Amino acid sequence: MKNKHFKVYLSDRFDLQIEESDGDNIISGKLISKNNNKDTFNIRNSIPRFIGGNNYADNFGLQWNEFKSTQLDSASGLSLTSNRLWSNTKWNKTELRGKKILEVGSGAGRFTEIFLSSDANVVSFDYSNAVDANYASNSDKGDVFIFQGDLYDIPFPDEYFDYIFCFGVLQHTPNPLKAYNSIYSKLKKGGSISIDYYLKFDKPTPWSTPKYFWRPVTAKMDPQKLLRIIKLYIPIYLPIDTFIRKIPKIGSLITAIIPIPCWNYVSIGLNKAQRVEWAIMDTFDALSATYDTPKTLEEVREMVGVDNTGHEKFEIFYGSNGVVVNILKK
């Protein structure tokens, strides 16, 4: 734990037992709740763990520790993450400087890196041990506090954060509405929240059709085994899929009909090796999640409560990865 601001906050709620430290950095120890039940949480590898044992997001822990730097702009040499962040949230670096940001579902930290480049005070967490990958990549890049925790039980008070960011997460929770309400409660009045949500398609697509054809099987598989299978067939099938996609007029339809999942990023600037890596990573992402419940734009609108009088400003639109909702809290 390196972020002094949040160490001070945690000291108000927890007694700290340090087992190993390196200067200001607490490598291992325990956080003991000051309330009556004296709940105890471990600090391991400098990361507070507010949950224990296996959970429904273990597949993401495997994924993001396997592909810890794949999506980082600093590693890819591209601006894919920063472009997605700024174009969808409509935020900018200047307004984030010095603000408290809660990042819900950090993965390997692709967005954490961009927030830290904005000189924001970042709190970033994940339900899985993907936090280890995020910590390895971003703990030395700025004012960041990374923890492993449950979005239904976030260890910070209500109306605490200036900005809340939650991309690629809610559709993977057992109760998306409850999850959304939980994170929204942490937003200050006058603060901004941005979420995205997988879009439910009403016709075959190269992305959704093969995915939901196989998920009844793959979501129940051992993630390690599933990843091995994907690593075997993607390098062979990716060139075939690319050829089919480039067939004029009917290429996309053919790939939607053929039930072979392949996340093929043909024209976003990746080199050949990167395309194979991204295809393996995102095909696994699509097939392995325990929960995956896409929604239409209208269903997302209903979930977030567009008519809620607590919204100063509201916008909902089709974004880079489904439906995006941006709200300014009244």
- Residue 9: both structure tokens together: 């906050």
The mean pLDDT value for 310-322 works out to: 90
Please classify residue 25 by burial: count the beta carbons closer than 10 Å to its beta carbon, then call 0-12 exposed, 13-18 middle and 19+ buried: exposed
Is the pLDDT at 182 greater than 70, yes or no? yes
Structure confidence at residue 35 (pLDDT)? 81
Contact assessment for residue 46 and residue 135, using Cβ atoms and an 8 Å cutoff: yes
| Residue 14 pLDDT class (50, 70, 90 cuts) | confident
Q: Which of 179-193, 212-226, 295-309 has the lowest mean pLDDT?
A: 295-309
Is the pLDDT at 4 greater than 80, yes or no? no
d(CA 243, CA 134): 35
Structure confidence at residue 52 (pLDDT)? 81
d(CA 196, CA 192): 14
The mean pLDDT value for 218-232 works out to: 98
CATH number of 68-199+296-329: 3.40.50.150
More confident residue, 206 or 308: 206
Structure confidence at residue 309 (pLDDT)? 57
Is the pLDDT at 13 greater than 90, yes or no? no
Q: In 3-state terms, what secondary structure has residue 278?
A: helix
- Residue 121: both structure tokens together: 């005070």
Structure confidence at residue 6 (pLDDT)? 60
More confident residue, 4 or 273: 273
Q: What is the pLDDT of residues 255-265, one digit of tens each?
A: 999 999 999 99
Contact assessment for residue 179 and residue 291, using Cβ atoms and an 8 Å cutoff: no
d(CA 245, CA 254): 8
The mean pLDDT value for 102-131 works out to: 97
Q: What value, to the nearest 5°, has the Cα angle with vertex 165 and ends 164 and 168?
A: 150
Q: What percent of the chain has pLDDT over 90?
A: 83
pTM passes above 0.85: yes
Here the contacts of 79-87 (C-beta below 8 Å, separation 24 or greater) are 80/268, 80/269, 81/110, 81/111, 81/113, 81/114, 82/114, 84/167, 84/320, 84/321, 85/111, 85/114, 87/319, 87/320
Is the pLDDT at 170 greater than 90, yes or no? yes
The mean pLDDT value for 299-315 works out to: 82
Structure confidence at residue 324 (pLDDT)? 98
The mean pLDDT of the chain is 93
Q: What is the pLDDT of residues 280-298, one digit of tens each?
A: 999 999 999 999 999 999 9
| Residue 307 pLDDT class (50, 70, 90 cuts) | low
The mean pLDDT value for 304-327 works out to: 86
> Which stretches does DSSP call E strand in the chain?
14-22, 25-33, 40-44, 47-49, 100-104, 121-126, 144-148, 161-166, 187-197, 311-319, 322-329
Please list, in sequence order, all residues whose beta carbon lies within 8 angstroms of the beta carbon of residue 90, skipping any fewer than 6 positions away.
Answer: 194, 315, 326
The per-residue b/e assignment along 151-163, b for 16 or more CB within 10 angstroms, e otherwise, is beebbbeeebbbb
The mean pLDDT value for 56-76 works out to: 97
The mean pLDDT value for 168-184 works out to: 97
Q: What are phi and psi of 132, to 5 degrees?
A: -65, -40
- First-to-last alpha carbon distance for the chain, in angstroms, is 33
Per-domain boundaries in the chain? 1-49, 68-199+296-329, 208-288
Structure confidence at residue 38 (pLDDT)? 75
The mean pLDDT value for 97-114 works out to: 97
Is the pLDDT at 141 greater than 90, yes or no? yes
